[in-house]
Amino acid sequence: MARIERRAPAKINLTLHVTGRRDDGYHLLDSLVAFCSVGDRVEVSDAPGLSFAVRGAFAGAVPSGGDNLVLRAAELMAARAPMAGAAITLTKDLPPASGIGGGSSDAAATLSALSALWSVPLPGPDEILTLGADVPACLEARALRMRGIGEEIETLPPLPEIHAVLVNPGCAVSTPEVFRALENRDNAGMGALPAWTSAEELADWLSDGRNDLEAPALSLAPEIREVLAALTVQRGCLLARMSGSGATCFGLFAGQEDADAAATSLGAAHPEWWCRAGRLT
């Protein structure tokens, strides 16, 4: 029996500059995106019809109806392979609605896995975008620059070795609400990207950038401030910032040992926080 497995890595917005707004209300972005070795997993295998099962630490938070991005991705694929079926299992280890693209990455992994299982091509870019603005980036799952609302993707050379500690304080933040709370933005994009040769150089360059959604997310979830402060004081932390529309924040580290130690000590000091260390690609 054919069985295909795909990782659905966490997406990290190392920068997220809001550069404008379209007539339909979607915001134009300029974002440096990386992916983390921490993530969810999607497995698909041959079966008579479409079925879906979910397990993992955050299984309980996965919607069972029309909001489930794995099912929506599967339905897009099934429209191209009407006679095909699959049993789909999602292992949900990333906190949902937390700014690290869990749902988008799950959708991308599902598209990719079913495309391989059924030997059918991926849907077109416009159809993929209907699943979520981050899904095209998650299909690449490597360092990239994202512009437009997420549809303009420029993949980048591999990042220098760099590790991230991801911390989520346990409050789900609604992406549309964060965008609605966005008041000030200076419309400046990132300019040209240099070629970074070390974690320190990358972090130094990032410190001139920003996440424009950090201030509006902080107004909705003040816990984020505490997370950023706790990350900043960890030994070896080069930079701390929020990812996406939050509330997950990341700290960047040159070495794996410092990152692992920070994740362990933050988790011990704040048992209610979700803390993970992983390498960025």
Q: Which residues bind ligand C5P (CB under 6 A)?
A: 26-27, 29, 132-134, 149-150, 175-176, 179
Total residues belonging to the chain: 281
Q: Is 25 annotated to bind ligand?
A: no
88 is in an annotated binding site: no
Provide CB contacts within 8 A for 196, sequence distance 6+: 159, 160, 202, 205
98 annotated among ligand-binding-site residues: yes
Residue 99 annotated in ligand binding:
yes
Residue 163 Cα distances to 25, 144, 166, 199, 240, angstroms = 35, 17, 10, 8, 12
Report, in Å, the least distance between residue 134 CB and ligand C5P: 6
Classify burial at 104, counting beta carbons within 10 Å of its beta carbon; exposed 0-12, middle 13-18, buried 19 or more: buried
Indicate which residue of 30, 134, 212, 258 is catalytic: 134
Distances (CA, A) of 66 to 72, 93, 250: 7, 21, 30
DSSP strand E in the chain: where? 3-13, 17-21, 27-46, 50-55, 86-91, 144-148, 152-155, 163-168, 237-242, 249-253, 274-279
Structure tokens given for 68: 């489930």
Work out how close the CB of 98 gets to ligand C5P at its nearest, in angstroms, rounded to a whole number.
Answer: 12
CB of 253 to ligand C5P, least distance (A): 28
Measured CA to CA, the distance from residue 227 to residue 96 in angstroms comes to: 17
- The catalytically annotated residue of 11, 30, 40, 258 is 11
Helix, strand or coil for residue 203?
helix
Strands 237-242 and 249-253 turn out to be antiparallel
Q: Is the CB of 150 or the CB of 278 nearer to ligand C5P?
A: 150
Is position 134 annotated as part of the catalytic site?
yes
Q: Is 208 a catalytic residue?
A: no
Is 102 annotated to bind ligand? yes
Nearer to ligand C5P, 87 or 149 (CB): 149
**Minimum distance, C-beta of residue 238 to ligand C5P, in the bound complex (Å):** 27
C-beta of 68: minimal distance to ligand C5P in Å?
Answer: 13
Identify which of residues 96 and 236 has a Cβ nearer to ligand C5P in the complex: 96
Q: Is 96 annotated in some ligand binding site?
A: yes
**From the annotation, which residues make up the binding site for ATP?**
95-105
- Which residues are the active-site residues? 11, 134
